Amino acid sequence: MKRLPLLAVLVALASTVPAQAQSRFFEGKTIRIVVGFSPGGGYDTYSRTIARHMSRHIPGNPTIIVENMTGAVSLLAANHTYKVARPDGLTIVNFHGNQVVGQLLGREGIEFDARRFKYVGVPMRDSAACALTKASGVTTLEQWKSAKTPVKIGAVGPGDTSHDVGRVLMATVGLPIQLVRGYKGTAEIRLAAESGEVAGGCWQWESIKSTWRKALEGGEVSIVLQMAPKPLADLPNVPVALSLARTDEARQLMQAGIVVPTAISRLYALPPGTPDDRVQMLRKAFLDTLRDPELLADAGRAKLEIDPIGGEETERLVAELFKLDPDVAAKLKGILR
> Which is nearest to 256 in space by CA: 145, 76, 79, 102?
102
For the segment 272-277, the average pLDDT, to the nearest whole number, is 98
My answer on whether 319 and 219 are in the same domain is: no
Residue 149 neighbours by CB distance under 10 Å:
7
Q: Which of helix, strand or coil describes residue 10?
A: helix
Judge contact between 299 and 291, C-beta under 8 A. no
Instruction: Specify the CATH number for the domain of residue 60.
Output: 3.40.190.150
Residue 13 lies in a domain: no
CATH number at residue 256: 3.40.190.10
Over residues 25-68, the pLDDT tens digits come to: 999 999 999 999 999 888 999 999 999 999 999 999 999 999 99
Average pLDDT, the chain: 91
Indicate the number of domains in the chain: 2
pLDDT category at 10 given cuts 50, 70, 90 is: very low
- Note the pTM of the prediction, 2 decimals: 0.76
By C-alpha distance, which of 121, 70, 157, 118 is closest to 80? 70
Distance of CA 57 to the CA centre of its chain: 22
Instruction: Name the least confident of 60-64, 203-207, 230-234, 291-295.
Output: 203-207
Per residue in 204-219, pLDDT (tens digit) is 898 899 889 999 999 9
Asked whether residue 71 is domain-assigned, the answer is yes
Of the candidates 97, 64, 65, the residue with the CA atom closest to the CA atom of residue 78: 97
What integer pLDDT is reported at residue 18 of this predicted model?
52
- At 159 the pLDDT is 79
Encode pLDDT of 92-126 as tens digits. 999 999 899 889 888 889 999 999 999 999 999 98
Query: Residue 13 — pLDDT band, cuts 50, 70, 90?
Result: very low
79 three-class SS: helix
